[in-house]
């Protein structure tokens, strides 16, 4: 299973907004630059995120984009669903009525378990968790003295 660039870039862009929450809106060009994402592509991603109520736009001189809710209340499942749809690896998981093999297929149960496992990880990871990880990865460690 591979995530599209839309989901990967969207999650990374949202971390930038989570780091600025609630104090300020972040200009799209800053997010694009920081995350090495084409501004044009980011516009499409942000349009989807705004349409689903995950982010909001702020007009004016200090405008940009911000999270519509606290980063602790936005999980990756919501982001994934907004940008990708279902986490099901095959169509028969979400639409068993379309598969004549649904009752006898030896692999369908595994695909259902895979979807549930992915959803569990996504639902238990918030934007706040990701912002904390980014801080840990980018902040310098404590001062070290050598004698």
Q: What is the DSSP string of 78-121?
A: HHHHHHT----SSHHHH-GGG-TTTTT-SSHHHHHHHHHHHHHH
- Residue 1 to residue 115: CA distance in whole angstroms: 10
Q: Is the dihedral of CA 55, 19, 122, 8 positive or negative?
A: positive
CATH of region 5-86+127-138, choose from 2.60.40.790, 1.10.3720.10, 1.10.10.10, 3.30.465.10: 1.10.10.10
Answering whether pTM is above 0.85, one says yes
| pLDDT in the model for residue 143 | 58
Q: Is residue 144's pLDDT more than 70?
A: no
For the residues of 59-73, what is the DSSP string, one character each? -STT-EEEESS-GGG
32-64 burial, b at 16+ Cβ within 10 Å, e below that, comes to: beebebeeeebeebbebbeeeebbeeeeeeeeb
Q: Contact at 8 Å (CB) between 31 and 11?
A: no
| pLDDT confidence of residue 146 | 65
Mean pLDDT on 67-90: 96
* Structure confidence at residue 129 as a pLDDT band (50, 70, 90): very high
> How do residues 36-58 score in pLDDT, each as one tens digit?
999 999 999 999 999 999 999 99
- pLDDT of 145 above 80: no
Dist. CA 95–CA 98, nearest whole Å: 6
Residue-wise pLDDT tens digits, 2-49: 889 999 999 999 999 999 999 889 999 999 999 999 999 999 999 999
């Amino acid at each position: 299973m591979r995530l599209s660039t839309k989901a990967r870039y969207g999650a990374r862009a949202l971390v930038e907004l989570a780091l600025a929450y609630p104090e300020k809106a972040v200009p799209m060009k800053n997010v694009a630059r920081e995350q090495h994402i084409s501004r044009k592509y980011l516009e499409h991603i942000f349009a989807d995120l705004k349409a689903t109520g995950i982010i909001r736009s702020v007009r004016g001189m200090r405008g940009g984009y911000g999270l519509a809710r606290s980063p602790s209340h936005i999980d990756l499942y919501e982001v994934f669903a907004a940008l990708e749809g279902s986490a099901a690896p095959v169509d028969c998981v979400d639409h068993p009525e379309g598969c004549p093999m649904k009752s006898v297929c030896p692999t369908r149960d595994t695909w259902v378990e895979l979807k549930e496992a992915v959803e569990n990880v996504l639902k238990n990871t918030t934007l706040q968790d990701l912002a904390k990880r980014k801080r840990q990865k980018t902040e310098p460690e404590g001062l070290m003295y050598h004698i």
